Amino acid sequence: MLHDMTPGAEEDLNEGMRTGYIGFDPTAPSLTIGNYVQIMVLSYWQQAGHKPIFLLGGATGRIGDPSGKDKERQLKSYDELDRNLSFQREQASKFLNFEEGANKAVMVNNYDFYKEMNVLDFLRDVGKNLTINYMLSKDAVKKRLDSGLSFTEFSYQLLQANDFLHLYQNYGCTYQMGGSDQWGNITSGTEFIRRNLTNAKAYAITSPLLTKADGKKFGKSEEGNIWLDPNLTSPYKFYQFWINSADADLPKFMRIFSFKSQEEILALEKQYAEDPRALKKILAEEITVRIHSEDDYQSVLSVSEILFNKKASRGQLLSLDERSLKAIGQEIPTHQVSTGLIQNHVSVGDLLSEHTDICTSKSDARRAIKNNAIAINKTKISDHEALITPDDLLHGKYIMVENGKKNKYILEIA
């Protein structure tokens, strides 16, 4: 995971516990699996005996980081940023040890550094310490000079540099870490500290930006981002992201996202050299349990059973919670059915042919039922006049219909 570091960092880390930070701007409604790469960096940092700071970008999120962007960001409203910030705080608390030990993690909001600072103080105390020439030399800035860069985004570098100085002075933080696209911002911070404090030493460490074997951005799927919030990416879809990853990406993913030792990973790779899918399942289980929970992982397995195992039982279906049923509905065709229809006890034949397109006509429904092809909630139907009632609803909202061995549907009652 190491891309670059400033001279002397490795030697300094051998001298005892050090404090290092990574910043996370609240520009999205949840952290993503891409953000989680940097959380893994903080996790390894803490496991090695060092102290991590999770810096919430309450201030920098209001500005927008130009790094990696080819055009100006759309600024978020303060209300949206505050909502995102609150949720990020909650998510981060799951992944690092904030509770005990000399190196317990600290969560800091950089808005607290600036809320009492006026523009004159900022220009005098912060802006005076880095020259325009120095700031223009950074790749993130140079790449945007042709397409346009506002003073707002140009000033981001100053804010991030001042963050580092503040953490250095108030928390003894001597390391800033981040993705390789942050090298310019981070080294601006080390220079900023050098210019403000005599004999002060601060260091930068970056990790590679991850891309998949096909060149696509890591953490993106056909549907978009892979979020850590189960309401944005269900545990089932999260699990499937790892299961469906390219074989060529697996060694990289194992080394970054598994807490297994180097020896364990090498042994597993040797054991499953001819069966990469089995190794993907091992990684998918580990990270799904860590990001979500053991219960969510078990639910993922239950959803997979219902979707892919032809011998799945009615009992397995009835044991699913509402979120799991919703996850199934995202994977197979879903039909909206009115509550009144079920309350009036609609017949199976009418439900399949007139209120959904599961069967093309009443005669098609009768034929399917006669051929023993129709099942409601894993119970075979033998009479097309059989009635569907509220008692058939799963969690008061869902019905699962099967037409043959391969065709599955979810009816959502609304």
pLDDT, residue 174, reads 97
Q: What is the pTM of this model?
A: 0.85
Residue 38 lies in a domain: yes
Tell me which of 282 and 185 has the higher pLDDT.
282
Tell me which of 326 and 204 has the higher pLDDT.
204
Q: Is 21 helix (H, G, I), strand (E, B) or coil?
A: strand
Average model confidence (pLDDT) across the chain: 91
Q: What percent of the chain has pLDDT over 70?
A: 97
Q: What percent of the chain has pLDDT over 90?
A: 68
Average pLDDT of the residues in 383-404: 93
DSSP state of 155: T
Q: Quickly tell me which residue has 């309450």 as its tokens.
A: 58
Average pLDDT of the residues in 221-234: 86
Task: Spell out the residues 6+ positions from residue 219 whose beta carbon is closer than 8 angstroms to its own.
Answer: 32, 33, 34, 210, 225, 226
Helix axes 33-47, 78-95, angle to 10 degrees: 40
Amino acid at 214: D
pLDDT, residue 151, reads 83
End-to-end CA distance of the chain: 48
Residues 195, 95 within the same domain: yes
Average pLDDT of the residues in 221-250: 90
Look at residue 263 and tell me whether its pLDDT is greater than 90. Answer: yes
Look at residue 177 and tell me whether its pLDDT is greater than 70. Answer: yes
DSSP state of 61: G
pLDDT, residue 294, reads 95
Query: Smallest Cα–Cα separation from 278: which of 270, 144, 26?
Result: 270
Helix axes 33-47, 250-257, angle to 10 degrees: 50
Residue 40 lies in a domain: yes
pLDDT confidence of 210, banded at 50, 70, 90?
confident
Residues 300, 337 within the same domain: no
12-29: pLDDT as tens digits: 999 999 999 999 999 889
26-75: pLDDT as tens digits: 988 999 999 999 999 999 999 999 999 999 999 888 887 666 665 666 77
Residue 326 lies in a domain: no
Residues of the domain holding 398: 332-413
Residue 118 lies in a domain: yes
Domain boundary among 151, 174, 207: 207
124-139: pLDDT as tens digits: 888 887 778 877 887 7
Task: Spell out the residues 6+ positions from residue 193 whose beta carbon is closer than 8 angstroms to its own.
Answer: 164, 165, 168, 200, 202
Average pLDDT of the residues in 227-248: 93
Look at residue 156 and tell me whether its pLDDT is greater than 80. Answer: yes
Residues 75, 184 within the same domain: yes
Residue 11 lies in a domain: yes
In total, how many domains does the chain have?
3
Residues 282, 336 within the same domain: no
pLDDT, residue 74, reads 76
Query: Smallest Cα–Cα separation from 39: which of 15, 21, 65?
Result: 21
DSSP 343-404: HTTEEHHHHHHTSSSSSSSHHHHHHHHHTT-EEETTEE---TTPEE-GGG-BTTTEEEEEET
**Any idea what the CATH number is for the domain that residue 374 is in?**
3.10.290.10
Contact 130, 158 (CB under 8 A): yes
Mean pLDDT lowest for which of 27-36, 76-85, 123-132, 298-307? 123-132
Measured distance CA(47)–CA(183) in Å, rounded: 24
pLDDT confidence of 297, banded at 50, 70, 90?
very high
Amino acid at 171: Y
